[in-house]
A and B are shown apart, each in its own frame.
Chain A
Amino acid sequence: MTGERSRNARREVSFTVNGKPCSVAVYPMQRLLDVLRSELHLTGTKEGCGEGECGSCSVLLNDELVNSCLIPILQVEGASVCTIEGLAAEVLHPVQRAFLECGGAQCGICTPGMILATISLLRHHPAPSMAQIREGLSGNLCRCTGYIRIFQAVEQAAKTIEATGPGAAQSSFDSLDASR
């Protein structure tokens, strides 16, 4: 105890990140975003607004897209988290490749969140309409691209994943699922 402000104790919280089990000693109300960046040094997840409006801090929590700035770490106990760092092992994930090839990234701050939102979208809508793409990414703000190239990247990623069948993309999905 170092005075009044430290009266609540840290506690151990265990979960898996990108398929690997981890355990951190944290205050229960620490945000998942801060635990990822400061405790686990996974700085691919960005902070934009800090109030769930911009989507820069998007991660998958038990396969669902969430804003990690709004998740207290205690609610992550036993859960599975996927961040941008978990997508590419040897080769880029098809969604990452599509963003690269289509010019779907400029300054890069929104890009990890855009890519995770795209992966979430394509799981629910493997061949999304433009309306579904726009809705799926509506919580992710980009101040550089004007979105057109991002939408093109999503369309290209959907086609690549469809063409390669349960190939490259699926292997990443499987590794996520195996981590649950």
Chain B
Amino acid sequence: MKKNNLTRRDFLAAASATAAFSIVPSYVLGANGQTPPSDKLNIAAIGCGGMGGVNINMLGAQNFAALCDVDDKRAKDTFEKYPNVPKYKDYRKMLEKHDKEIDAVLIATPDHTHAVAAMAAIKMGKHVYVQKPMAHDIYEARELTKAARKYKVMTQMGNQGHATEEIRLVREWLQAGAIGNVTRVHAWTNRPGGPWGWAQGRDVPQKPKPVPAYLDWDLWLGTAGNRPYHPAYCPGVWRGWWDFGTGALGDMGCHIIDPIFWALDLGAPDSVEASSVELKPHSAPIASMITYKFGARGNMPAVEMIWYDGGLKPARPEELEPGRRMGNDNGGAIFEGDKGKLMFSGAGGAPRLIPETAMKAYKRPEKTIPRIRGSHEDDWVRACKTGKAASSNFDYAGPLTETVLLGNLAIRAGEKIYWDSENLKVTNCSEANKLVQRQYRQGWSL
């Protein structure tokens, strides 16, 4: 049937290749009726618009027990799809009321409420799927990782590229020595620009606006300090404000750094330094460059990873044929090894040794890493049902998130920071340590 020949798998590949989420026709979404009712996971969702709506659609074969959003307008489409499911504005009330019916919780709020919502769910023994970045602060990421182990719940961060074939190829090829020892990696994104972009480098709006009737502003603020409502904060544009978001890096770093982090077993960096453009006290800069330095790992030598955003890119490598595109609309990465270079687009898409002649000559190693069938969300559902960890569970995603967020610490510190990961501490700059864990507004705790 022609109408149906866009499979979920194709969609996933397309979505991961662009990391911008195409609008998917309803016929590929929705329940497929193949999952026996008894086998369905009972999910509650916190944050039902934007990416939350996409995740809910991808989880359409499961059962939704309750839905929560502080913004009726943004959640409207999802809410209308599930007319009989109870709706909430406050996730705490929802969890309390439906504790017994809920197996698992999807969290797709702005960054600053990821951790408190996830922690509440984990402590109640619920499995969690948390949008990336897993947390707003490094401390929160560490605590969530520990809690997931303690409460033995199944976790997944929403870096959906981690479920793809391509990210596995990158790891397999690099681990097989396709380009020798990797000593430098460049990674970049067009954010905060582009069609999915938002403003950064902003000053705090001075003239408050009335809170729209459809929005519970106090709950939207959640852990963040109280302030008058302004449309410059939400919806969607919160990423550019340090109190709510984590900038271009927090958004796209979890996608684009993911294949690098995994393939090279990066872990925590020794040092991070950054320079940026139009950095404001309350707003992320309009562009930045960040250099992470990692020590030797196993038989892999020390490596530096350089991140560029806001339109900045690394210099075009000589190996890339004239006219050939470097990365894609969302960005990409280039690994430099002592025996060659590997480039991918977006969140790990279309990996190729460059030049193309090197790719053609390459004898690919055996595919040893297990593949994910279905989507990133499916992977999590399977984990919840079988007890076998999902691909981007918190033991993996926690350290990835910490490393990504360290870049923001370096941007805001304004100097090179040296990192003691074990003790969660910047060793040379006491100001930067204040950013490892922020103060919550009264009434909120992790």
On whether the two chains bind one another, the answer is no
Interfacial residues, chain A to chain B (CB-CB below 8 A): none
Interfacial residues, chain B to chain A (CB-CB below 8 A): none
